[in-house]
Amino acid sequence: MRAIIGILNDAFSFRRIMFTSSAALLLAGGCVSAQEPNTVLDVDSPITAVTVFRRQANVVREINVRPAAEGQLIRITGLPETIRDQSVRWESDAEITVRSLRVTPHQIPPDDAKRRAREEERGRQNQALQDAAHEVAVIEQDLETIEDLVTFSSAQTNDDLRQSELKVDSVTAIADFVMQRRRALAKELHVARRELQTLQNQMEESMRQTQQKTDSKPASTFDATLMVDAPRGGLLRLSYWVDEVSWEPQYTIHATARQEDADAFVVQLDGTVTQHSGEDWRGVRLAFCTGVPNLQAATPLLVPLRVSVNQASGKGTDPMAGYAKSRQSAGTAPAWEDPALWQRNLALNTEAAGRQVYEINRRQSVQREMADDANNNLTDETYRVAGRIDVADQTADQAITILRWNIESPIYRVVTPLLSSFAYREAALENETGQSLVGGDATVFLDGRFVGRTTLPPTAAGGEFAVGLGADRQVRTRRELLARNESIQGGNRLSKLDYRLVISNYHPEAIEIQLYDRIPITSDSGTVNVVTDSTSLGNLSTDAKYLRMQRPTGILRWDLTIPAKRFGSTAYDHHYDYTIEMDRTQSIVSNDVEQQMRNDLRFNRSGGGGMGGGFGGGMGGAMGGGGSF
């Protein structure tokens, strides 16, 4: 019996050796060849300065070039994928001469150390998987041998029974051996299979991660290679433009109303930066610019306006048809002329000619027009942030403080019964920063309380801009037409309109207000005549800006002091009247009212006539024409 068991053990060992050799042949791996590195000199090039424009940024890197008796080839790596084509420029000290510049996609050389580490790890995984598979196969063969032994024992027992020579001790020993061995091998097989499955899962995960690293290519970058002569060494600056960067201005205004002293304001301008350039800016000198990189520096050229009388008959003739045709046929610019400048001058003069012809043909005494660039910022300003700052390439926007200043200015109330039943607080703030302010959204607080959002217009240095501070619901107003008296004078009808503007002050103290209303103005004084005098309108404001810009357009303004606790039966009343004289067979109409109001709103909000931001919420709207500046 022991001889039989010894033979079985020898068979198990032989099967283990044979399986090991076969598995080693099946799981053998390969190797990867390497490339030689580039021979140019890679240099450090930290980003030191960034100027952020509204839709792109200019990045400056600095390189300390070492002295060399002969020319040297240096390479700056890591230029981002968002770099603009042909935007790389250099600036150097006088001792450095740049012979050439070449920008190429960055080639990543193979990493032999990482490759060898991956191969060693793969070899260890293969060996462990091979050993585990060998162990499972051997145990399975052992179980098969046990079954062969059972078959052999059964046949031998049957022969012994036929010959009446059954050896009970031998049969019992074999049965005990088979049961014990089968039970032990079953446990070993369960453990071995579980170990094999774990190793297979680990190897599959490792292969998946390796494949992901292979499939996910790193972000494309560029290299700038320069041939330089630097016998004494020196500083070299490399600049380039990147996309996926922008900024928006955001103002925050904190107002504090005071009873005794002047009202105080803290105005802060922040730049909200969106940075997805692909590179981090660490410890850079940061600046914000309101202009555009391709801004035309040349002065617009004014050319003569040549006109003639339209010979065609009929009212359907368009006096602007010739100018529309000229816009379509721009012609060819001289060979030495910048085509963009040529097109700009042609477009500006054509649009201006159209406005001039329109104002000549239009029956109106005064027309207020501004050039098309009035909607742009007043100047191309650059704001430099104090100190150095980090701006990372990230998904979230970053707010950076640009300017902050304190100013004192009185808060007044604007009352416009035609437009609102409440007074609105307002203040005129002077731009004391020494720089022009870009137009942008503003968040406004009064006495620590959020009162709303507004938009500030572009304002030149030293100019003023109006800031709305929200409604004051303790001051209420209404407009009443008290009387309309008509009379006939010759063939004309005279209509005298008597108005009352009611102001209720619920505050326990007197308040200063600017009260606004308007009277109609006409483009044809021969048909409609609006009659007013100082007595009928009362004491209008003596503010110079109002008298220059608003009074000629029919806007009325009175600067009043409303006593405390004046409401109900004791509300403050302000009276005025005017007379309209016109043909008694006609009635008043308003032509092109919406378009004319758009023009006037654009004129006032664009800071026409040096207004520096208009008159805010107290204007009450204006109808074009009438009067003089």
**114 pLDDT more than 80:** no
Q: Which residues contact 53 (CB under 8 A, 6 or more apart)?
A: 246, 247, 289, 291, 292, 293
Residue 524: the pLDDT is 65
Q: According to DSSP H, which parts of 401-538 are helical?
A: 534-537
**164 pLDDT more than 80:** no
Nearest residue to 77 (alpha-carbon basis) of 114, 97, 47, 50:
47
Residue 473: the pLDDT is 93
Q: Which residues contact 600 (CB under 8 A, 6 or more apart)?
A: 368, 553, 621, 622, 623, 624
E-strand spans in 232-385? 234-242, 245-256, 264-275, 281-289, 382-384
**607 pLDDT more than 70:** no
CA dist., res. 457 & res. 440, Å (int): 7
**618 pLDDT more than 90:** no
pLDDT classification of 628: cutoffs 50, 70, 90: very low
| Mean pLDDT of the region 590-594 | 65
CA dist., res. 382 & res. 289, Å (int): 4
| Mean pLDDT of the region 225-229 | 92
Residue 336: the pLDDT is 66
Residue 168: the pLDDT is 57
**351 pLDDT more than 50:** yes
Instruction: Looking at mean pLDDT, say which of 103-112, 270-279, 482-491 comes out highest.
Output: 270-279
**400 pLDDT more than 90:** yes
**9 pLDDT more than 60:** no
Length of the chain counted residue by residue: 629
CA dist., res. 377 & res. 271, Å (int): 16
The answer to whether the beta carbons of residues 510 and 598 sit under 8 Å apart is no
Least confident of 77-81, 181-185, 593-597: 593-597
User: Strands 222-229 and 264-275: what pairing?
Assistant: unpaired
| Mean pLDDT of the region 141-152 | 74
E strand or H helix at 440 = strand 440-446
Residue 294: the pLDDT is 61
User: Strands 281-289 and 47-52: what pairing?
Assistant: parallel
Residue 565: the pLDDT is 95
Q: Please, what is the angle between helix 112-162 and helix 2-26, to 10°?
A: 150
Compute φ and ψ for 46, nearest 5 degrees: -65, 145
Higher pLDDT, 371 or 227: 227
The per-residue pLDDT for range 333-346, each reduced to its tens digit, is 676 677 777 787 78
Nearest residue to 618 (alpha-carbon basis) of 366, 418, 370:
418
Least confident of 4-18, 242-256, 567-581: 4-18
Residue 84: the pLDDT is 86
The per-residue pLDDT for range 412-462, each reduced to its tens digit, is 999 999 999 999 999 999 999 999 999 899 999 999 999 999 999 888 889
3-state secondary structure at position 175: helix
Residue 217: the pLDDT is 58
| Mean pLDDT of the region 74-92 | 89
The per-residue pLDDT for range 48-71, each reduced to its tens digit, is 999 999 899 999 999 999 998 888
**612 pLDDT more than 50:** no
Nearest residue to 194 (alpha-carbon basis) of 202, 206, 184:
202
The answer to whether the beta carbons of residues 95 and 230 sit under 8 Å apart is yes
| Mean pLDDT of the region 125-153 | 78
| Mean pLDDT of the region 96-113 | 80
